[in-house]
Amino acid sequence: MDPRPWLPDVTGHPRRLVEALRLGGPATRAQLVEQTGLSRATVSGYVADLVDRGLVRPADPADARPTGGRPAGLVRLTRRAGVVVGIDIGRTHVRVAVADLSHEVVGEHVAELPVAELDAGDVLDTVAARVRDELARAGACTADVVGTVVGLPTPVVSAAATPHGTVAQANILPSWSGTAPAIELGERLGVPVVVDNDANLGALAEVRWGAGRGSRFTVYLKMATGVGGALVVDGNLLRGVSGTAGEIGHVSLDPGGDLCRCGNRGCLELTAGGSALLQAIRTAAPHYGDLRTLVAGAVAGDQACRRLVADAGTHVGVVLGGLVNTLNPDRIVVGGELGTAGDLLVDPLRRALARSAIPAAAEHLTVVPGSLGARAEVLGALAVALREADRLG
């Protein structure tokens, strides 16, 4: 049986064209020739056939990708070919996005939700309702969904017995520990679902569409309530044996320091995470009640906020020096809510990194702020869903 029922009666060379458009987005006929290895005449004939069947249409130059416009002369998949859903679940928010198979975001919504205070099942009920609402606004339904990917701010372990991912010990989201949200959400929606760590998804989005484009080996940092990270080599995540590669926030700076939520002492997150910064600002400026306002204060020139952000960058730079010496990446992308402080965070990070990394490792390294902002994780979820639509289905 064909595992991809979302494209009925499309087999052989026409399917190769459809898959090229799904993986790479809108393309010219010349690009499709290069991607598929078919002749120009064959590509033109099959494109014409797919247009007649309503699966492909010329791309409108005014159409917008997640990060920019498209030139003229392209063809793209229509919505009839299916849609994918990306979901970013944070401690205090849920963001849902729907994209067609030509990589165009056709619906997106973010709402505040006290995720960390709620039972996992209650959150998934809310997420399922939001997904249905956003599909309806995009003119689609669950029957059109060929893949759904969810990002969570916690390590997600995959194994042969649980290929869709099980949440490991979740200190940020305690009620999620040991759950299999992919299966549970899939049952609620009746669609295929995969769950991954949110930093992994943010990293993939930045490499594909953002500040990591053109990099061969990117280290991505998500600096928000906690400090997460991910490693991307030649466009693929380096996950490690149990899926926890990149958890830089739990590198210990002081083995005799304060106890971290992970059970270790003196972790980087205790000095550079958003929660630590908010705790530190309470005495000097208690009106900064969340990380967004603290960063805004730093950008506006508040010296206490600037000092905290700079100190966080310095601590991260020290830890990154060892990582750079060991792995020798060519780019570090700093994202997350704290990452929106830009050079106020990144400049101290660069200076500390320069002091702690060996010159040979740092010579060809660039450190840049992320360019996708709060959308990085949900765009990464869409990118994974687009790439893995066949497997998900």
> Please, what are the domains in the chain?
12-80 (1.10.10.10), 82-200+376-392 (3.30.420.40), 211-370 (3.30.420.40)
172-231 per-position pLDDT tens digit = 788 888 889 999 999 999 998 999 999 999 999 999 999 999 999 999 999 998 899 999
pLDDT of residue 344: 97
- With contact defined as beta carbons under 8 Å apart, do 165 and 172 qualify? no
Separation of alpha carbons 128 and 112, rounded Å? 15
- Those residues of the chain that have pLDDT short of 50 are 1-9, 63-70, 159-162
Q: What is the reported pLDDT for 181?
A: 93
CA–CA distance, 109 with 117 (Å, rounded to integer)? 21
CB 221 within 8 A of CB 336: yes
Q: Which residue has the tokens 């902002």?
A: 373
- For 341, the token pair is 């402080």
Q: Are 140 and 122 in contact (CB under 8 A)?
A: no
CA pair distance 260, 171, nearest whole angstrom? 10
Query: What gap in Å lies between CA 107 and CA 98, rounded to an integer?
Result: 5
Cβ neighbours of 163 (radius 10 Å): 11
Contact 63, 70 (CB under 8 A): yes
pLDDT computed for residue 86 by the predictor: 97
pLDDT at 391: 54
pLDDT at res. 160? 42
Average pLDDT taken over every residue of the chain: 87
- The two tokens of residue 250 are 């739990």
pLDDT tens-digit series, residues 254-304: 999 999 988 899 999 999 999 999 999 988 888 998 999 999 999 999 999
> How many Cβ atoms from other residues are within 10 Å of residue 214's Cβ?
9
Angle between helices 343-356 and 303-327 in degrees, nearest 10: 40
Residue 252: per-residue pLDDT:
93
d(CA 138, CA 106): 6
Give me the pLDDT at residue 243, please.
78
Query: Which pLDDT does position 60 carry in this prediction?
Result: 64
Return the percentage of the chain with pLDDT > 90, whole number. Answer: 60
Give the per-residue pLDDT at 300.
Answer: 96
| Terminal-residue alpha carbon distance, the chain | 12
Integer Cα distance of 71 and 202 in angstroms:
26
Nearest alpha-carbon partner for 140 in 149, 148, 150, 131? 131
pLDDT at 64: 42
